[in-house]
Amino acid sequence: MIGKLLKIIRINKGLKQSELAEKLNIAQTTLSGYETSYSNPKFEIIEEFANNCNYEIIFRNKKTKEEITTDSIKRKDI
């Protein structure tokens, strides 16, 4: 599922796999693997992918509609 979403986001941005892979500092074959669901990216790669394509990751509580974005969370080890 995440692979299809990543591919749609990349295509909507008008980027080739090789172009986005270079921005993400990963191999084009790795990006291809993510898009075909051959392998799953770590969340940090998904976040960087979204940022490079001008998307924002939002977590929305179904009940309260509260939203938290990755930008609003201070990163630290718990």
> What are φ and ψ of residue 25, in 5° steps?
60, 40
How much is the pLDDT for 75? 55
The overall pTM is greater than 0.75: yes
Determine the CATH number of domain 2-72: 1.10.260.40
In the chain, pLDDT over 90 holds for what percent of residues? Answer: 85
pLDDT at 78: 44
20 CB-contact burial (10 Å; exposed 0-12 / middle 13-18 / buried 19+): buried
The one-character DSSP state at 67 is E
pLDDT(70) > 70: yes
Our CA angle for 5, 11, 17, nearest 5°, is 95
CA dihedral 48, 11, 21, 39 (to 10 degrees): 80
Domains of the chain, residue spans: 2-72
Q: Is the pLDDT of residue 27 over 70?
A: yes
On average, the pLDDT of the chain sits at 91
